[in-house]
Structure 1
Amino acid sequence: MLTVNAAWNIWNFRKPILKALLAEGHRVTVLAPLDDSVAKLEKLGCRVLPLQMSAKGLNPLEGLRLRRAFLKAFRQERPDIVFSYTIKNNLFGAMAARRCGVPFLPNVTGLGTAFLSGGALQRVAEGLYRHAFRRLPKVFFQNEDDRTLFLSRRLVRAEQTEVLPGSGIDLQHFNAAPYPEGEEIRFLMIARLLRDKGVHEYIEAARMLKGEGARVRFQILGATGSENRTAISREQVAEWEAEGVIDYLGTAPDVRPHIAEAHCVVLPSYREGAPRTLIEAAAMARPLIATDVPGCTAVVDHGVNGFLCEVRSGDSLAEACRRFLSLGEDARRVMGKAGRAKMAADYDEALIVQAYERAMVQMLGRGF
């Protein structure tokens, strides 16, 4: 069984695991809130069961309800093993799995707003992690910084942990794309429109460069109105569009055409697990600009396949954009090719499948 806070997450990011399990004859069930990816998952060969949950907040009552929902599902389905992703599924799924004796393998794909906020909310989150993960034989992380943080806070033990190269990348699907020509440079940010993704800093940098007369376009591709307390409204985005600061591209089922048209992909996030959009863009041989924070630094080698800037600083992001603009076209192409080479060496999806198979052998005595 695979569980996550949105079925589309499994379809978009976990297909290598699904395909490997199904190819070996395993029955795979996805437990997640339903969306328009369900039909595609079922066509692939999965069963999909509905999970009622909210992706935002750590409300104690909602947590108890979610734990009961996991208990019910685990007892009815009796999965041999559960692979879990996203914060609430990891926390309350682990508690339920321990209660009914089901092997459980969480993947810490990011820390979320709770860890970014500090104060009481962070202490609550840490207490939940400490309780939920203490007896698990294996916990996957998507970058070394998150693993180190969990170890420093004594939320896990070193022998439990393993760092994966994100979710892996299909290097054929996200193949290197010809670099776009033209003097007008297109910066592209792909993310849910959340404050914590650095949207406001992106807007600030766009205002600065446009005010300086640079021949640039700043584009944003991603959903508004997310169930997150830092979400940015569609009305706010419309104001930025009317100001002429950004081009809002909405959402897209396939990001590759947008990446192919971009000269540089930007992510000014406050913290990441393994930033999927940067990984996809690098695989397509696009230079990157990102913040010098955990997750982003695992993908961006400063001055090699992109540039790093200070977190929460529109000025620093603008300066990184200026530095990119100062490069010649050949240097930009070289940066893009370096990113592609890094993805081929370190982020091939086959590495993820192998790690999960090793974990299954450790926990069940057999692999895929």
Structure 2
Amino acid sequence: MTRSLHIVVTVNAAWNLVNFRTGLLRALLADGHRVTVLAPRDESVASLEALGCAFMDLPMNRKGLSPLANLHILRRMGAALDCLRPDVVLSYTIKNNLFGALAARRRGIPFIPNVTGLGTAFLSGGGLQRVAQMIYRHAFRGLPVIFFQNRDDLALFAGMGLVQLDQARVLPGSGIDLTRFVPAPLPQHPPQAPVFLMIARLLRDKGVVEFAEAAAAVRRHYPQAQFRIVGPFGAENRSALPPEQITHWQEAGHIQHLGAMPDVRPAIAEADCVVLPSYREGMPRVLLEAAAMARPVITTDVPGCRDALEAGETGLLCKLRDSASLARACTDFIDLTPEARAAMGQAGRARVERLFDEAHVIAAYRQALADAAG
């Protein structure tokens, strides 16, 4: 049993922890640790405090790309760590990983980042990508543990010399609470009138454009098929789609935007298939949640997304940035018998139980904390 620690958990949005890390936070608190969340303040803070976490505000601009233009985050991180004096820092999201690692190193505080995605700057090419790689190389040097969400991202970082293989550990995403996301019977929709559901922020990088274009193509042949989107607008993200674009697609009858939902389970239960045509992910939790509820999935054949399913067994793959390929995958799903759809969903549930139980993630963090505490 690790001695009681003061753990700072830092992320670029407090809601991220409420949505994806509540189980881990509960486990840390149950282990007797003191947990302080360091993140920009939002409406999720009350939920974190109700769990038993303390909170410190970390103002930051999540939209900016240039790492050098965000050095103020390094100063704010440093000031926060000087005030909080934690025993260890757990970090998520790009800017918190980079600048948190630098601030913690200067103070001799153990730092454990989780690479949940690569971000626009890292994948942009040219000078901006080189600067991002330089900061990663410096920030991650000498860290005892670096968590990755998939092996593709790990291989990319290792190939660029940003991490050493003995530092890296691959997690099954953020893990799924299998007692909360439980199998639900498929809805009794007519076979040619399925509900395709996408759950994501309304960002171009999530594949929202491809989803809407595929919806228009499919509905020309299957007009009863429904394409629903659950998720908020991403105003602070550079790839955010304008509200008027979503309105246009709705008025044209292609999609239905249901807004943001604090609990997505009812929407998944009403869907026949969950779709995420994202350009790249760490490990897309929504696909794991869908599989845990025995729903087939459709997603892009890219790192992270393809790791969330067994193609042909628990879901279908489509090509990146290709709405025609996505439309074909949706049509292929429509052509499945109800029995085949149910079997695909059941196989997804079994796979999540085997590989993505939240208990695996909690155990990995407990081990990392024990190592960091000496």
Normalising by structure 1, we get a TM-score of: 0.97
Q: Deviations over 1:219-241 (max 9, x none)?
A: 11111143111110111100111
Deviation at 1:262, TM superposition (A): 0.3
> Which residue of 1 is the match for residue 157 of structure 2?
150
Q: Tell me how far apart the structure 1 counterparts of residues 241 and 56 of structure 2 sit (CA, whole Å).
A: 31
**Partner of residue 242 from structure 1, selected from 251, 254, 264:** 251
2:194–2:272: 8 Å Cα contact kept in structure 1?
A: yes
Matches within 5 A, 1:1-368: 1-60=8-67, 62-183=69-190, 184-365=193-374
The amino acid across from 1:124 in the alignment is V
1:7–1:35: 8 Å Cα contact kept in structure 2?
A: yes
Deviation at 1:61, TM superposition (A): 5.4
> How many residues were matched structurally?
365
Q: Deviations over 1:107-130 (max 9, x none)?
A: 001111223322222222111111
> Which residue of 1 is the match for residue 4 of structure 2?
none
More off after superposition, 81-90 vs 204-213: 204-213
Q: Deviations over 1:174-221 (max 9, x none)?
A: 111111111120000100111111111111111111122443011111
Q: Tell me how far apart the structure 1 counterparts of residues 150 and 61 of structure 2 sit (CA, whole Å).
A: 26
More off after superposition, 341-350 vs 121-130: 121-130
More off after superposition, 128-137 vs 160-169: 128-137
Q: Deviations over 1:307-365 (max 9, x none)?
A: 01111101111111111011000100000011111111111111001101111122212
Counterparts in 2 of 1:144 and 1:33: CA distance versus 1, 3 Å: same
Q: Deviations over 1:45-91 (max 9, x none)?
A: 11011001011223355421100111111111110100000000000
2:65–2:120: 8 Å Cα contact kept in structure 1?
A: no
The amino acid across from 1:13 in the alignment is F
More off after superposition, 4-13 vs 118-127: 118-127
Q: Tell me how far apart the structure 2 counterparts of residues 53 and 65 of structure 1 sit (CA, whole Å).
A: 8
The amino acid across from 2:322 in the alignment is S
Q: Tell me how far apart the structure 2 counterparts of residues 218 and 124 of structure 1 sit (CA, whole Å).
A: 40
The amino acid across from 2:90 in the alignment is F
Q: Tell me how far apart the structure 2 counterparts of residues 220 and 17 of structure 1 sit (CA, whole Å).
A: 28
Q: Deviations over 1:260-280 (max 9, x none)?
A: 000000000110001011011
Counterparts in 2 of 1:209 and 1:136: CA distance versus 1, 3 Å: same
2:195–2:271: 8 Å Cα contact kept in structure 1?
A: yes
1:27–1:46: 8 Å Cα contact kept in structure 2?
A: yes
1:192–1:226: 8 Å Cα contact kept in structure 2?
A: no
Q: Tell me how far apart the structure 1 counterparts of residues 235 and 34 of structure 2 sit (CA, whole Å).
A: 32
> Which residue of 1 is the match for residue 5 of structure 2?
none
Deviation at 1:13, TM superposition (A): 1.0
Q: Tell me how far apart the structure 1 counterparts of residues 280 and 263 of structure 2 sit (CA, whole Å).
A: 24
- Give structure 2 stretches of 5+ with no counterpart: 1-7
Q: Tell me how far apart the structure 1 counterparts of residues 333 and 204 of structure 2 sit (CA, whole Å).
A: 24
- Give structure 1 stretches of 5+ with no counterpart: none
**What is the aligned-residue RMSD (CA, Å)?**
1.1
1:225–1:231: 8 Å Cα contact kept in structure 2?
A: yes
Q: Could you say what secondary structure the match of 2:289 adopts? A: helix
Normalising by structure 2, we get a TM-score of: 0.96
Identity %: 58
1:225–1:234: 8 Å Cα contact kept in structure 2?
A: no
2:66–2:121: 8 Å Cα contact kept in structure 1?
A: no
2:66–2:128: 8 Å Cα contact kept in structure 1?
A: no
The amino acid across from 1:14 in the alignment is R
The amino acid across from 2:294 in the alignment is A
Q: Tell me how far apart the structure 1 counterparts of residues 245 and 65 of structure 2 sit (CA, whole Å).
A: 26
Q: Could you say what secondary structure the match of 2:166 adopts? A: helix
